[in-house]
Structure formats: structure tokens, C-alpha cells
């Protein structure tokens, strides 16, 4: 496993994730971007704020993956 | 779009120039390495990508690196949480004023839960509590003092006269926002209704035991009427006295009077109300009677009042004068305030409703006068609180805000539905033009962000509050509805 490959892997997956594409690697897991809409959030001090929307990178391991 | 393993391998082949088989084996190696590291309790990090590790539950986890997260979120770069409601420690007048008139109890509760920290707030709390208590119950006489202090301290910024206004208001249970005036008015009416109802009941009770009270009311009648009608009444009275009790000595008259009163107890209640209605009636349309009842009552009153004059014991006069004064004041004030405008045609129930303000007459005008200064004071203060002014402006000038049309220049901060976030201004302007052609009022706001430089946000609509923006956003075409966020446009 050489560095070039890892670099290429990283760049490609990154690029696809940023394009909001799902990258699913069978036998490993799935990378996807989940969008969280803006939402109201009440803080402990009673302050109520509108949280801006946000995208999360989420990795879901494949069930079949052994440990 | 979904990139499966096959596609990924193709892309990797393209990128690395390796053979597909080699790429696949490299990928397997990578996966294995990640797993092995994770199983050993170590995290394997791919720089600028993220970290793989096993969670305590034994699931393979991935934490994206910071720059990946930033890049994924570039559209929202620089967006900060927008405050909708201030934290407890800084909660101030907005809370006490915002609550809508009908929410007085909830207002109190909110304040109760929200305000804990500073001594000032406790005092506010007290004051507000008292306020609600005052309005819910009926006028505890000593309660106002505490709210006074609270309001004074709470609103130090206010000019003296405003504070005074509040002080004055407090005793009258009127320490409330300007926008609650209408409700206050209603409440006052209700209260005064209750009061007068009570008074009337009391009066009725007095009737049962003490005929003099009725005399008072009867006496009150002529006094309340206009001079002309007074004269007419006087004449009528004299005539009726002559005709009805020509030969009766005074004592006999008194006895008869009492008897008749006892008989008329039921009617007397009606009389209590009718005097009020009769008077305005006379005022407006000279001597006028709606039903057969009133003439009857008049004749009764005529009969009785003269007798009273004839009796003229000091106590009787005093009692009757007091009773009369109460009614007179009430009716006069009621007439002044125009409450009896339709009294002629009004039925008994309506009269009941209109009577109260009369009975509570003196407090009422005072309240009205005192309310206005407070109102002014609050509107003057409002500009310091953007959200609140926004709401007010919205109600006053609807056209200032909206989703469509041309964008307006708004001095205060407002909210817009952001549809696009572009890194180039010209692109943003293109999007803006497009949206403009679709009929939306468009807004462009530049936001400087860390790492992403300046972002150009293209929004549609101008709204004073987030909820209104959200409501409008919910009605947009699907493509806009599903991908937007509400942004605060700061001036």
C-alpha cells in the first residue's frame, strides 16, 4: 500500500463527499453527507438561538464487517 | 449520486494510473489496515480526511477532519447562531412587553422561570407577579407599591414622567405594555362591571331593608338629568304629587311610600338601571322612553322624591345624597365617555354593561390619561430593541416587509430566506437577477468567513422575524423550499 494510493483515495473520497455524493465501499462502509436544517436550540441559560444549517460527514460501517 | 466500490476503483485507477487490480488490492489493504488499527484500540488517521476508530460499542467510527467538515459546509461558512430569545441574564423589557395581552398569566410564568440571577430581576419578578395578581384578582390596595419600586428600578432609563406614569398606573393595575391597552380597557370595563354589579346588588339589598337608599336613587335621577328634563320632571312630580296624594298628610305619605317601595322592590332594581338610560336618552333625544317600564318608574320616582323632600330629615337627606352622588358621578362619566350612546335602544343587559364604567367612573379617566404617557414611553424605548421594533414596524407598515416586489431599505436588522451562497459576487448577482425576474424581492449580503473568504448570500424576502421568514419559506416552490436557510441581514 503506497502513499500515492492513499493520497488518491483521500482526494477522491473527499471530492465526492463535498459534492454530496455517497461513497459506498462494499465490505467496509459508506460515507455520506447528511444535511441538518436550521433549527432552534435552547441553551441552558435560557437563550434561544436559531442554529444555522449544517452538513455532516457520516460514516456508516457495513454490518458484515468483522471486528 | 452514489459512488460504489466499482466506481471508486475506476476513479482511483484514473487518478493513480495504477491497474485496476492493483488499486483494488490497495483498497483492500487500506481497509484491512484501518480495521486492524481500530481493533488494537488505535485510531488510524488519514490526514486531511479523517480518523477511523472503534467506538466503545465496537462500531467502526469515522471522524472527518476539520478541513473536510469546513469544506463540506462551505455554503454555510460564517453563519452564526441567530439569537431568537435573549438568555435569562439579559432578558429585559422585551419579555415583559412582548407577551400578548391575553397571555398575562403566561407572561408571569415566563418571567418566573426566566428571571433568576440578579436582584433586579427578582424585583421585576415580584412586580410582574403582582401585576398579574392584580389583574386577575380585584385590586389589592397595597399591592401596587411593590410593583412601583420594581418598575422604577427596572426602567431606570426611562424619563421621570414615564416612571411616574407607571407609578400611577400600578395602583390601577395598569402597568402594562402599550399594546395591551385594548385588553386593559376591556378588563377595566369588566372590573368596573363587577364593581357596579356589586354596587347594584348592594343597592338592591339596601332596598330590601332601607327604603331610603331608593330615595337616594330617585333623588339622583333628576340631578343627573339635563336642566330641561329636570324642570320637566319637577313639574311632573308636582303634578303627580298633587293628583296622587292630595289629602294625605306627610306621615301617611311616608308610610305609603314605604309600602309602595316594598311592593316595588323587584321593580326597583330595574329602576336602578333605568335612571342611567333615561338620562342619556333625554340628553340625546329629549324626553324619550323606550318601553312602558320607564314611564312607570318615572311616575314612581316622582311620587317618592317629592315625599322625601317633604320629610327632609337630615339623615334621610344625607343618605339619599350620597347614593345620588354615586349614581350621578357614574352616569355623568359614562355619558362623557360616550358609553351610553345607544342606551335608548339598549336592553337591560346592555345597560348593565354600560353602568359599570359609570360607577367606576373616576378611576377610568385617570387610567386613560396615565396609559398614554406609558405608551409613549415604551414606544420611545423600543428602538433600542431591534426585534421588538421589527414587529411593530411590521404591523404598522406591512409593505416594508414581504417576500415579493422590490426590496426595501430597512434600517433595522431583518431576516431573509437565503437560497444561494456563492463565492463570487458576479455569480451571486446572476442568481439575484434570476430570482428578481421570478418576482421575489431579493437581497445580497456579503459575509466574510474564515478560510472561505467572502461569501455572497442571495436571499429572497425581507422579514422582521424568523417565524415569519420560516412561514414564507414553507410556501416557496419545492426547489427553494427544500434548500434554504433563514439568514439575519444586519444593517
pLDDT, tens digit (0-9, with 9 covering 90-100), for B10-31? 999 988 888 889 888 989 998 8
- Which range, B59-63, B151-155, B334-338, has the best average confidence (pLDDT)? B59-63
pLDDT band per the 50, 70, 90 thresholds, residue B409: confident
Report CB contact under 8 Å: A38, B486. yes
Instruction: Please report residues of B whose CB lies closer than 8 A to that of A44.
Output: none
- Helix (H) / strand (E) element for B334: namely helix B314-336
Q: Is residue B260 classed exposed, middle or buried when 0-12, 13-18 and 19+ CB atoms within 10 A define those classes? A: middle
Cα B29 from chain centre: 68
C-alpha distance from B62 to closest chain A C-alpha (Å): 6
A10: closest chain B residue by CA: B49
Does residue B186 have a pLDDT over 50? Answer: no
Q: What is the pLDDT of residue A23?
A: 92
pLDDT band per the 50, 70, 90 thresholds, residue B392: very low
Q: What is the pLDDT of residue B282?
A: 41
Mean pLDDT over residues B43-56, rounded? 86
- Residue A35 bridge partners (DSSP): A55
Which residues have CB under 8 Å from B114's CB, separation 6+?
A46, B88, B91, B95
A32: closest chain B residue by CA: B2
Q: How far apart are the first and last CA of chain A?
A: 21
Residues 29-48 of A with CB under 8 A from B: 29, 31, 33, 37-38, 40-41, 43, 45-48
Mean pLDDT over residues B59-82, rounded? 85
Is B400 near chain A, with CB under 8 Å? no
Q: With contact defined as beta carbons under 8 Å apart, do B478 and B462 qualify?
A: no
Report CB contact under 8 Å: A57, B68. yes
A16: closest chain B residue by CA: B3
Q: What is the pLDDT of residue B488?
A: 81
DSSP designation for B81: P
pLDDT band per the 50, 70, 90 thresholds, residue B235: low
| Residue of B1, B3, B43, B452 to mutate for A, most A C-beta atoms under 10 A | B3
Pick the closest to residue B52 from A50, A32, A17, A60 (CA basis).
Answer: A60
Q: Name all contacts of A13-16 with Cβ < 8 Å and 24+ positions apart.
A: A13/B8, A13/B49, A14/B48, A14/B49, A14/B68, A14/B71, A16/B3, A16/B11
Q: What is the pLDDT of residue B207?
A: 44
Residues 237-256 of B with CB under 8 A from A: none
- From the list B26, B61, B82, the residue facing A5 with the nearest CB is B26
C-alpha distance from A44 to closest chain B C-alpha (Å): 9
Report CB contact under 8 Å: B3, A23. yes
Q: Note the residue count of chain B.
A: 491
Coil/strand/helix, residue B154:
helix
C-alpha cell at B79: 453563519
Characterize the bridge pairing of strands B2-3 and B414-422: unpaired
Task: Measure the CA–CA gap between A1 and B320, rounded to whole angstroms.
Answer: 112
- From the list B12, B31, B68, the residue facing A14 with the nearest CB is B68
Mean pLDDT over residues B207-214, rounded? 48
Residues 5-24 of A with CB under 8 A from B: 5-6, 8-14, 16-19, 21-24
Q: What is the pLDDT of residue B303?
A: 45
Is B404 near chain A, with CB under 8 Å? no
Q: What is the pLDDT of residue B334?
A: 66
Mean pLDDT over residues B211-220, rounded? 48
Report CB contact under 8 Å: B88, A40. no
DSSP designation for B417: E
Is A26 near chain B, with CB under 8 Å? yes
Does residue A49 have a pLDDT over 70? Answer: yes
Is A3 near chain B, with CB under 8 Å? no
- Min mean pLDDT across A26-30, B195-199, B229-233, B443-447 is at B195-199
Q: What is the pLDDT of residue A46?
A: 86
Q: Is residue B109 classed exposed, middle or buried when 0-12, 13-18 and 19+ CB atoms within 10 A define those classes? A: middle
Between CA B102 and CA B106, with CA B103 as vertex, the angle to 5 degrees is 160
DSSP designation for B77: T
Q: What is the pLDDT of residue B133?
A: 38
Mean pLDDT over residues B342-365, rounded? 43
Tell me the domains of chain A and their CATH numbers: 3-61 (4.10.520.10)
pLDDT band per the 50, 70, 90 thresholds, residue B339: low
Name the pTM for this structure.
0.37
Report CB contact under 8 Å: A46, B80. no
Q: What is the pLDDT of residue A31?
A: 92
ipTM of the complex: 0.84
Report CB contact under 8 Å: B81, A49. yes
C-alpha distance from A32 to closest chain B C-alpha (Å): 9
Q: What is the pLDDT of residue B228?
A: 52
C-alpha distance from B159 to closest chain A C-alpha (Å): 29
Mean pLDDT for chain B overall: 62
Amino acid at each position: 500500500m503506497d502513499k500515492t494510493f492513499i493520497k488518491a483515495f483521500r482526494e477522491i473520497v473527499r471530492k465526492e463527499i463535498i459534492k454530496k455524493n455517497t461513497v459506498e465501499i462494499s465490505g467496509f462502509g459508506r460515507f455520506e453527507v447528511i444535511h441538518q436544517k436550521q433549527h432552534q436550540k435552547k441553551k441552558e441559560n435560557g437563550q434561544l438561538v436559531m442554529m444555522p444549517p449544517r452538513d455532516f460527514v457520516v460514516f456508516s460501517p457495513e454490518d458484515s464487517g468483522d471486528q | 449520486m452514489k459512488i460504489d466500490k466499482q466506481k471508486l476503483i475506476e476513479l482511483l485507477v484514473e487518478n493513480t494510473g495504477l491497474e485496476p487490480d492493483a488499486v483494488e488490492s490497495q483498497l483492500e489493504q487500506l481497509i484491512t489496515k484501518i480495521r486492524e488499527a481500530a481493533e488494537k484500540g488505535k485510531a488510524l488517521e488519514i490526514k486531511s480526511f479523517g480518523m477511523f476508530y472503534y467506538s466503545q460499542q465496537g462500531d467502526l467510527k469515522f471522524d472527518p477532519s476539520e478541513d473536510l467538515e469546513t469544506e463540506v459546509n462551505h455554503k454555510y461558512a460564517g453563519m452564526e447562531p441567530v439569537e431568537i430569545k435573549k438568555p435569562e441574564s439579559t432578558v429585559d423589557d422585551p419579555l415583559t412587553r412582548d407577551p400578548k395581552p391575553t397571555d398575562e398569566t403566561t407572561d408571569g410564568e415566563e418571567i418566573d422561570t426566566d428571571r433568576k440571577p440578579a436582584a433586579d430581576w427578582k424585583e421585576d419578578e415580584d412586580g410582574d407577579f403582582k401585576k398579574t395578581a392584580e389583574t386577575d384578582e380585584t385590586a389589592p390596595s397595597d399591592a401596587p407599591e411593590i410593583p412601583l419600586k420594581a418598575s422604577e428600578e427596572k426602567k431606570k432609563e426611562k424619563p421621570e414622567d414615564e416612571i411616574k406614569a407607571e407609578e400611577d398606573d400600578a395602583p390601577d393595575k395598569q402597568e402594562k405594555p402599550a399594546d395591551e391597552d385594548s385588553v386593559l380597557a376591556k378588563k377595566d370595563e369588566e372590573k368596573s362591571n363587577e364593581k357596579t354589579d356589586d354596587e347594584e346588588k348592594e343597592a338592591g339589598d339596601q332596598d330590601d331593608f332601607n327604603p331610603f337608599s331608593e330615595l337616594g336613587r330617585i333623588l339622583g335621577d333628576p340631578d343627573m338629568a339635563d336642566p330641561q328634563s329636570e324642570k320637566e320632571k319637577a313639574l311632573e312630580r308636582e303634578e303627580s304629587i298633587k293628583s296622587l296624594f292630595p289629602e294625605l298628610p306627610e306621615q301617611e305619605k311616608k308610610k305609603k311610600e314605604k309600602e309602595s317601595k316594598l311592593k316595588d322592590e323587584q321593580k326597583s332594581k330595574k329602576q336602578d338601571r333605568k335612571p342611567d338610560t333615561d338620562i342619556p336618552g333625554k340628553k340625546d333625544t329629549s324626553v324619550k322612553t323606550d318601553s312602558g317600564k320607564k314611564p312607570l318608574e318615572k311616575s314612581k320616582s316622582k311620587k317618592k322624591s317629592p315625599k322625601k323632600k317633604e320629610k327632609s330629615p337630615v339623615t334621610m337627606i344625607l343618605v339619599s345624597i350620597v347614593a345620588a352622588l354615586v349614581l350621578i358621578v357614574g352616569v355623568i362619566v359614562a355619558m362623557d365617555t360616550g358609553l351610553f350612546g345607544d342606551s335608548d335602544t339598549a336592553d337591560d343587559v346592555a345597560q348593565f354593561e354600560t353602568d359599570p364604567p359609570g360607577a367606576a367612573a373616576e378611576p377610568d379617566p385617570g387610567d386613560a390619561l396615565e396609559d398614554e404617557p406609558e405608551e409613549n414611553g415604551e414606544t420611545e424605548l423600543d428602538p433600542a430593541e431591534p426585534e421588538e421594533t421589527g414587529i411593530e414596524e411590521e404591523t404598522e407598515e406591512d409593505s416594508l416587509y414581504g417576500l415579493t416586489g422590490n426590496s426595501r431599505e430597512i434600517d433595522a436588522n431583518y431576516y431573509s430566506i437565503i437560497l444561494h451562497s456563492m463565492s463570487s459576487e458576479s455569480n451571486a448577482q446572476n442568481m439575484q437577477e434570476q430570482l428578481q425576474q421570478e418576482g421575489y424581492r431579493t437581497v445580497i449580503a456579503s459575509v466574510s468567513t474564515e478560510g472561505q473568504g467572502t461569501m455572497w448570500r442571495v436571499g429572497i424576502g425581507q422579514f422582521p422575524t424568523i417565524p415569519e421568514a420560516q412561514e414564507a419559506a414553507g410556501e416557496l416552490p419545492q426547489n427553494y423550499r427544500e434548500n434554504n436557510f433563514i439568514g439575519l441581514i444586519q444593517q
